[in-house]
Structure 1
């Protein structure tokens, strides 16, 4: 049982190291400028984005519903 548990731990550690190596250069390549400029939005910014995205979803749903009604009436 102990040998099997060590084998699993070794595999998990190897996988973790592989993931860390993959993301190690993320700040050095073509995305470095974006990562440096990115910041966490404050509450006001988050609310604005949420409202705009919500309005867009509702608007597209309304357009789809109108198309559905037109197709069900005329076809």
Structure 2
């Protein structure tokens, strides 16, 4: 993989990039938060199951 060293390659990308709107940001944050909660809930359920049923 060849990484370009000249700054012009990076300025082109920065010119195309834009900051997200508030609606877009809040939607992304909501989806990411839901994913974090889902993974945490699954870990909690597995931990409780391992504590209740010995030998699992």
Q: Is this a same-fold pair by TM over 0.5?
A: yes
Structure-2 residue corresponding to 1:56: 35
TM-score with structure 1 setting the length: 0.53
Max radius of gyration: which structure? 1
Aligned length: 50
Give runs of ≥4 in structure 1 deviating > 2 Å.
26-37
Task: Give ranges in structure 2 of 5+ residues lacking alignment.
Answer: none
Tell which has more relative contact order, 1 or 2 (C-alpha 8 A, sep 6+). 2
Q: Match of 1:63, SS?
A: helix
Give the number of the structure whose residues are more often helix, by fraction.
1
CA RMSD of aligned residues (A): 2.4
TM-score with structure 2 setting the length: 0.68
Q: Distance in 2 between matches of 1:27 and 1:35?
A: 14
Shift of 1:74: 1.5
